[in-house]
Structure 1
Amino acid sequence: MSYYFIFSVICLLFARGGFTAAVGYPSGPVDLKAALSKPSMGWTSPNILSFPGQQSFINATERWTVFDPPTYSASVTVRNEADVVKAVKIARDLKIPFLATGGRHGYGTTLGNLKNGISIDLSLLKTVTIDKHASTMTIGGGVRFRDMVDPLFAAGFQIQTGTCSCPGMVGVTIGAGIGRLQGLYGLLSDALISATVVTASGKVLQVSETSNSDLFWGIRGAGANFGVITSATYKVQPIINNGIFTSIDMVFTAAQNVSYFNTLASMVNGNGTFPAKLAAITNVLYNTTSNQTEIITNWAYAGPREEALRVMAPILAVQPVFTNLTDVSWKNLNTETSFGFDAIICEPLGIRSIYSAALRTVSSNTAISVFAKLVDFYAKYPEGRGNTISLESFPPQKVREIPDSTSAYPWRQTITYLLIELSWEAGSSVGDASNALGLELRKDFAATSGYPDLTVYVNYAHGDEKLEQIYSAEKLPRLAALKKTWDPENLFAFNNPLPTHYP
């Protein structure tokens, strides 16, 4: 049986961010089209503006998920930094809320608080410049992962990324940026050297360890709260093993779930058994061909096949019912692994409600219990069979080695990231039951996560979490002080917003 066509939905989620900034005031009674279209605005091009009813507006505002989305009355597709400054200033002056977006993959429900705002579309800021001598790459704020992998690989380099090709790279970075190579290189935000930020006042700042260093600290973990990032420069790494990864896609039946989760937990929790070059993505979903709940996984190793098979021996010993062993170049790692479903995963305009938890340890008992609950749910709610869970087990070695004080990101001890992706067809009545399931499963995993409370990676936040569960009580005083300094009027108020005072 071929497993390339067996899934109606598979959602291997990644270190998505998607929204580079979120800014807002209550909408005022203003003719927005007239205000934006004034010749005195001095836009780069008259075609920069679009409004509801136009195809260009749809192109500029189309989102990955339409669950609890923001709404817009106008879009500005910027062509340079000066356009961004003008858009921010007019939104502030007119008291119109706005979001600046790159890949438009942000899915936190706090974004839905924006109504009738301005979309600042960064998608044309797509330059990719590589300095081979300095081992750096500078990208525009609209670059998606898929835009930079080919030129970077051709130059002989790689960089840590998420596990999907379509999210905006800057949007992922400002939440921290988790992914397969973090065991070797750290988080994507750890690779960030500098950024150009347009603040709420319309100022253009260069931020780095030596310039506006406090803001540089804050944008790496809470960046959507402080400005629109128009460009970013990263440290890149020479390709290893000639850029070739060993990838194994596997399928395990429902009857194998106990053995699989026991083995996974023993590997990721064990001392030294989950090496820095290894990453595993585990998905539980309903297979509409076999009519049963299954485990679909991808295990990828940044090294030669012989070495990879030795490292993966424990999970292979569980005897998957299907395997696809391939050698994959780094540039194609996201698109040619996980049964090649990147194209489907990246399809826009789906209903997707996300719940998540960061796990310092993986409890096999919890995973086994959750598997059973999903089996029961799929049986009771056939319309909810598009709901899935993912466990992204990324090695923590380099992440933990970098001091916690380096950036605003607080959860460097995490070994696995839980994603509960709830998806249903428009008009279905299963939405409430699905969200209730998501809350229950998140609570189950949080109770055995190794953290004292629910802990959530900000790019995966649903929007109902406490501030402390996203940013940590330890980081919040400094973050609130930064918010008061750089955004005292709380213009950046839609993407898991920070307060200006804490506690």
Structure 2
Amino acid sequence: MFFNNLTIFQYCLLLLPGTTFATQISPRSCSNCSCVVAEKLGPKLSPGASFSFSTTAAPRWSEFDAPDPGLIVDVATESDVQITVQYCNENNITFLAQNGGHGWGQTFHLSLEGLLINLSGLNSTTFNAAKTEATIQGGALVRGVVDAAYSNGAQIPTGNCNCVGALGAILGGGFGRLMGLYGLGVDNLLALNVVTANGTQIKVTPETETDLWWALRGAGPNFGIVTSAVITSYPVSSAENGAWVGSFVFSETQIEEVVEAISALDLLPEMAVFLYYAISDGSPVVLVSGSYAGANNSDGPNAFASITALGPEVEQAAWEPFNEVNAAGDSFCVKGGYKPAYGAGLAELVPSTWRSIWNEFVDFVAINGTTASTVMVDCYPMEKSRSLPDSSSSYPWRSTINCNAAAIPWYDDASLNAAAVSFGKTVRSLWFETSGTPGDETYINYAVGDESYSVVYGDNLATLESLKSIWDPLKRFDQFFPL
């Protein structure tokens, strides 16, 4: 493949000074005989595929309880994914497919004996002639999808973080700043190309494999590797292909009135609103960000007038083309470090709760090395999403969750793990106590993994478990909130 005349096994040996063919190879170099696996699997793959033996080749956003594979397969075609799954099945090798590497759930257990399928080479986004449908490959990031849509005069409902895998975010449910206009990401999917647990590549649509179609849209990682998806795209004019974006910094004395004002907002379909606790210029601050999709006019300022009326200490607002709207969050994309995040789904925001969380945040970021930490919540207009019944997909919280919240400790010193986990759990408990939902509910993309699975799968849990026994009886897909 790409080692010229060296076999992959010989290449691995060259990495270890003093080793010979008779010398036992270290686990990292030959975990589950990973060098031998690469040598045997390599000829089966496309010429563009390659192998890596270090997780630095496919880093994850958080190193906290991160997968630690002995071998990484960098696929170049969708068929490479199928072939790799078949090989793993034949040789009883645990595997995990990864795109952006941002899933922070602590249910991963991929070790040196396992194999990581790196999807990042499958990153194209293409459109039909009318720009009403787009095909997104499994390795495309949100940034690539948004850029492609913008250059084609269209919009696609994606997540809000540029560096997150587009399909990973969508398959969990698919929240994002355009959902008030277009609905959840899962509501916009039209077809899925999937490698199933037995290594078969199939096309799944609402008309074919109806049960699998339902299960993939909310619990996708349990049922297959989606190598590409067809999704609805929405043609828009250049003048409309953007959003008014405002950012407002408040002092901690304004927390209660800020939370009350956000709660009282009439979230129109074009809107989304975000609240952050963060560190700015060395001090904790309260930051509100709002967006209003559409043409450059007065709609955005008018929609968020109740926020600006509170008198923010800093105010910035401008209309931005849609390929730049997510840019303010790019600092969130830095990979590495420890980020044991804890999330909760909320029906309402309670001012006294957010005051208590502020106190916890200030105490935590007083610890040296934690100033990148944040607490965040994003809220959306839900009418469009709720125009479909709860039963339309396996995403379980369509009728109840209005906002997704997360406490994200961020640091480089592993000795802070215990303090970070304690902080995250405390904040999550405060949210659950006043969430306004019938019970504890968490969007799976914001969950951590210590929750009861009813917290992430809701009343769909039993049905999903039944379908799991049909589509993945050997539990090959057992890494991300495994059923």
**Among 46, 51, 54, the residue aligned to 2:53:** 51
1:371 aligned partner: 358
Tell me how far apart the structure 2 counterparts of residues 372 and 426 of structure 1 sit (CA, whole Å).
23
Tell me how far apart the structure 1 counterparts of residues 110 and 42 of structure 2 sit (CA, whole Å).
31
Contact 1:357 1:445 in 2 (8 A): yes
1:496 aligned partner: 481
Letter of the structure 1 residue corresponding to residue 98 of structure 2: T
| Deviation of 1:369 (Å) | 2.1
2:449 aligned partner: 463
| Deviation of 1:174 (Å) | 1.3
What is the SS of the residue equivalent to 1:111? coil
**What are the equivalent positions in structure 2 for 1:184-333 lying under 5 Å apart?**
184-239=181-236, 242-267=240-265, 273-287=266-280, 289=281, 291-303=282-294, 304-333=296-325
**What are the equivalent positions in structure 2 for 1:67-86 lying under 5 Å apart?**
67-86=64-83
1:111 aligned partner: 108
Deviations along 1:426-482, one digit per CA (max 9) or x if unpaired, are 24x33212211111110111111112322110111101011100000x211211111
Tell me how far apart the structure 1 counterparts of residues 40 and 402 of structure 2 sit (CA, whole Å).
52
Letter of the structure 1 residue corresponding to residue 150 of structure 2: F
Letter of the structure 2 residue corresponding to residue 352 of structure 1: K
Letter of the structure 1 residue corresponding to residue 345 of structure 2: A
Structure 1: where are the runs of 5+ without partners?
1-27, 268-272, 499-503
Q: Which moved more, 1:304-313 or 1:414-423?
A: 304-313
TM-score normalised by L of structure 2 = 0.89
1:426 aligned partner: 413
| Deviation of 1:150 (Å) | 2.3
**Percent same amino acid among aligned pairs?**
31
Contact 2:31 2:70 in 1 (8 A): no
Contact 1:360 1:415 in 2 (8 A): yes
| Deviation of 1:362 (Å) | 1.6
Contact 2:49 2:76 in 1 (8 A): no
Tell me how far apart the structure 1 counterparts of residues 208 and 219 of structure 2 sit (CA, whole Å).
18
| Deviation of 1:46 (Å) | 7.7
| Deviation of 1:154 (Å) | 2.2
Question: Structure 2 vs 1, CA of residues 39 and 437 (structure 1 numbering), >3 Å: closer, same or farther?
Answer: closer
2:390 aligned partner: 404
Tell me how far apart the structure 1 counterparts of residues 111 and 167 of structure 2 sit (CA, whole Å).
21
1:485 aligned partner: 470
Letter of the structure 1 residue corresponding to residue 272 of structure 2: A
**Residue 94 of structure 2 is aligned to residue 97 of structure 1:** yes
What is the SS of the residue equivalent to 1:85? helix
Tell me how far apart the structure 2 counterparts of residues 184 and 230 of structure 1 sit (CA, whole Å).
27
2:27 aligned partner: none
2:402 aligned partner: 415
**What are the equivalent positions in structure 2 for 1:4-43 lying under 5 Å apart?**
30-38=32-40, 41-43=43-45
Number of equivalent positions: 451
Deviations along 1:265-302, one digit per CA (max 9) or x if unpaired, are 222xxxxx221211111101233x2x432112211111
Contact 1:353 1:435 in 2 (8 A): yes
Contact 2:343 2:406 in 1 (8 A): yes
Contact 1:132 1:155 in 2 (8 A): no
| Deviation of 1:175 (Å) | 0.6
Q: Which moved more, 1:366-375 or 1:72-81?
A: 366-375
Tell me how far apart the structure 2 counterparts of residues 207 and 484 of structure 1 sit (CA, whole Å).
18
Tell me how far apart the structure 2 counterparts of residues 330 and 132 of structure 1 sit (CA, whole Å).
21
**Among 369, 379, 393, the residue aligned to 2:379:** 393
Contact 1:98 1:117 in 2 (8 A): yes
What is the SS of the residue equivalent to 2:160? coil
Tell me how far apart the structure 1 counterparts of residues 41 and 116 of structure 2 sit (CA, whole Å).
20
| Deviation of 1:492 (Å) | 0.7
1:156 aligned partner: 153
Tell me how far apart the structure 2 counterparts of residues 385 and 30 of structure 1 sit (CA, whole Å).
40
Higher relative CO (CA 8 A, sep ≥ 6), structure 1 or 2? 1
Deviations along 1:398-451, one digit per CA (max 9) or x if unpaired, are 111111111000111311111110111224x33212211111110111111112
| Deviation of 1:386 (Å) | 3.1
Structure 2: where are the runs of 5+ without partners?
1-29
| Deviation of 1:329 (Å) | 1.0
| Deviation of 1:37 (Å) | 1.0
1:179 aligned partner: 176
RMSD of the TM alignment (CA)?
A: 1.9
Q: Which moved more, 1:142-151 or 1:194-203?
A: 142-151
Contact 2:338 2:411 in 1 (8 A): yes
| Deviation of 1:40 (Å) | 8.2
**Residue 408 of structure 2 is aligned to residue 435 of structure 1:** no
What is the SS of the residue equivalent to 2:404? strand
| Deviation of 1:30 (Å) | 4.3
1:501 aligned partner: none
What is the SS of the residue equivalent to 1:166? coil
Contact 2:61 2:333 in 1 (8 A): yes
What is the SS of the residue equivalent to 2:275? strand
Deviations along 1:225-267, one digit per CA (max 9) or x if unpaired, are 0111111000011226521311111111112212211211222
Contact 1:114 1:494 in 2 (8 A): no
Contact 1:350 1:423 in 2 (8 A): yes
Letter of the structure 2 residue corresponding to residue 481 of structure 1: S
Letter of the structure 1 residue corresponding to residue 283 of structure 2: Q
Contact 1:265 1:364 in 2 (8 A): no
